[in-house]
Structure 1
Amino acid sequence: MDEKRVRVQIADQCAPVLAGVKPSNIVILGEGDAADEIREILVSADICCDLFYEGDGKQMWLFYRKSLIEEVLREEENRDFLKKYGYTDFRLENVMRKVHMHFLDYKLGKQEFPHEIGVILGYPLADVKGFIENKGRNFLYSGYWKVYEDAPRAKERFDLYTMVRSRITSEIAAGMRFWQVAQMEEILFA
């Protein structure tokens, strides 16, 4: 994949994280496609990224903002929920390691998909629980995730994600670098 297409794909899949309005997102790329672009993002912004999975000709990266995930992990109801899935240490690095292990166990057929990752991705806890309880059915609305409670609020969030996605993807396609995007908050929210 050529560099520009990779950059646009990362921008498209990761724009809400780049804009600082979502704690994390998963980006799926072809193997070996993105090393330079990922390094640029890591250098240019308060964003971390872990190679979550590699196989089947693709790489799955988790891009995240430490500060935003730490906010999610400070919420007692999120902690109580994660405890049900074996999380006991809520320091960021330990939670990230545990969710990564659960995902790898899923890929190896040792467990079901770790739906608790929805909390890490910034989905409302009620929607994560609703998805699990309803097995992905009976939702009120579907967009960036399936909504089981408070559809109007979710729609507002989806509109925000779509707006920053459109702006950031357009800027990257026009040649802007990721470090410049990281500094364009005033443009995004003007």
Structure 2
Amino acid sequence: MSDQLIVHHCAPTLAGLKAGSLFSCPCRDAGQLTGELRRLNRALAPKGLRVLPLQTEKGRALIYLYRPRALERELAGGEARALLKERGYGAEAACRCLARLARKLRAGEAFPHEIGLFLSYPPRDVRGFICNGACRHKCAGCWKVYGNEAAALRTFEVWRRCTRILEARLAQGYPLEKLAVAG
């Protein structure tokens, strides 16, 4: 997996603006993927980041890059915690919630739309999508918005700007670990 792919899909997480990001990459060899994830974790752990595979199937891997402390804070919020409980998660640490999410993805049942909570989407919008599907949202960008449209539009713009900046820095030769902020 290329650093360009990671920056394109994970810049706001690298910059400390969100708790986690997802991306998909080719996975023809599980051993090679494991080695690549180890390399990334060694490089990014000092910045407070972790990388792990959530699902691997049909020659692709779904990779989650996240900030454990930020994820813990986001999932501890009242609305997020209530939504997770409704979706079968206990009152457990974020790392256990993440393990449960990975099991749900691997089981191949209905897609776990609570995944938005792990991507820093507002709980109200995650609930709105679960209840309404792709219908009746106010606007769409990185996610479908059912709640505060103005705040979501600001967030979309900040995340887009962050991605452009980090992609430009990567193109100038900055290594991935220098693009990630400590947190």
Q: Mark yes or no: TM-score above 0.5.
A: yes
Cα deviation, residue 7, structure 1: 1.1
Cα deviation, residue 39, structure 1: 3.8
Are the counterparts in 1 of residues 41 and 50 from structure 2 also a CA contact under 8 Å?
no
Cα deviation, residue 40, structure 1: 5.4
Q: Distance in 2 between matches of 1:89 and 1:117?
A: 17
Are the counterparts in 2 of residues 44 and 178 from structure 1 also a CA contact under 8 Å?
no
Q: Distance in 2 between matches of 1:9 and 1:134?
A: 31
The structure 2 residue matched to 1:15, chosen from 11, 15, 35, is: 11
Q: Percent identity?
A: 26
Q: Distance in 2 between matches of 1:155 and 1:21?
A: 15
- 1:1-190 equivalences under 5 Å are 6-31=2-27, 32=32, 35=36, 38-39=40-41, 41-105=43-107, 107=108, 111-183=109-181
Q: Normalising by structure 1, what TM-score?
A: 0.86
In structure 2, the CA distance between the partners of 1:21 and 1:42, relative to structure 1 (3 Å rule), is same
Cα deviation, residue 41, structure 1: 4.2
Q: What SS does the aligned partner of 1:21 have?
A: coil
Cα deviation, residue 44, structure 1: 4.7
Q: Distance in 2 between matches of 1:145 and 1:42?
A: 26
Cα deviation, residue 184, structure 1: 8.9
Q: Distance in 2 between matches of 1:125 and 1:73?
A: 9
Q: Output one character per residue of 1:11-38: Cα deviation in whole Å (capped at 9) or x when no partner.
A: 0100000000010010111115781762
Are the counterparts in 2 of residues 47 and 64 from structure 1 also a CA contact under 8 Å?
yes
In structure 2, the CA distance between the partners of 1:184 and 1:71, relative to structure 1 (3 Å rule), is closer
In structure 2, the CA distance between the partners of 1:101 and 1:183, relative to structure 1 (3 Å rule), is closer
Cα deviation, residue 182, structure 1: 2.1
Q: Distance in 2 between matches of 1:63 and 1:184?
A: 14
RMSD of aligned alpha carbons: 2.0
Q: Normalising by structure 2, what TM-score?
A: 0.89
